[in-house]
Amino acid sequence: MHSNKELCEKIREVFPEIGECGIDLNVEYDSENRAWLVDLKKEDHHLKTFLEIPDAEKCMEGKQCISLGLQIDQLRNNLGLIH
């Protein structure tokens, strides 16, 4: 399994306008849900989503980032980060 830093950087690679890891975007492994927890922030707003490990691994391997892209895109829409 990849690290949270690697996954965060991959998200930023796909969506460079999203902000900085550790500031605007946090990625942590949630052992209770056995999934990655992605937290996107804008001002006082926080939106969180879970990314299943197999989906994250496929994206990290350069095979398929559809699930990751859809979830992050939805977060961006909800926060008004898409113009």
* Tens digits of residue pLDDT in 7-48: 999 888 887 877 889 888 899 999 999 999 988 887 777 788
Q: How confident is the model at residue 5 (pLDDT cuts 50, 70, 90)?
A: very high
d(CA 67, CA 72): 9
Give residue for tokens 């965060």. Answer: 8
pLDDT average, residue stretch 45-65: 85
d(CA 62, CA 41): 26
d(CA 52, CA 17): 23
Q: How confident is the model at residue 81 (pLDDT cuts 50, 70, 90)?
A: low
Alpha helix segments (H runs only) across 1-83: 4-14, 53-60, 66-79
Q: Which of 23-27, 49-53, 79-83 is predicted with the least confidence, judged by mean pLDDT? A: 79-83
